[in-house]
Amino acid sequence: MSQPSQATETAFLTLPKASEYLGISPNTLYVWRHRRQGPPSFRMGRRVMYRITALDTWVRAQERADSRSNPALNPLAQMPQRRSRATK
């Protein structure tokens, strides 16, 4: 059997390696996959695989969606809204 090339080895990660790469538990990644949440994945034979570029893209999207990382989403940066008066 031939050795996998360096490019093939680094382009895809198995579920345990992807969880290590993201710094989360393999169980969390498994549950997200089951619920169709989290980073995109696919099956390669019996293995669940994650493309490293997809993991990086997913992390960037999470950062943009989080108000602590994205000042435009910070509710404290918004002007307070006036309540509408209820008419009787």
Per-residue pLDDT of the chain (88 residues; tens, 9 = 90+): 445 545 545 699 999 999 999 999 999 999 999 999 999 999 999 999 999 999 999 999 988 887 666 667 666 667 777 777 776 6
In a domain, 81, yes or no: no
Please state the pTM of the whole predicted model: 0.66
Domain that holds residue 42: 9-57
Nearest residue to 27 via CA among 18, 13, 65: 18
What is the tally of structural domains in the chain?
A: 1
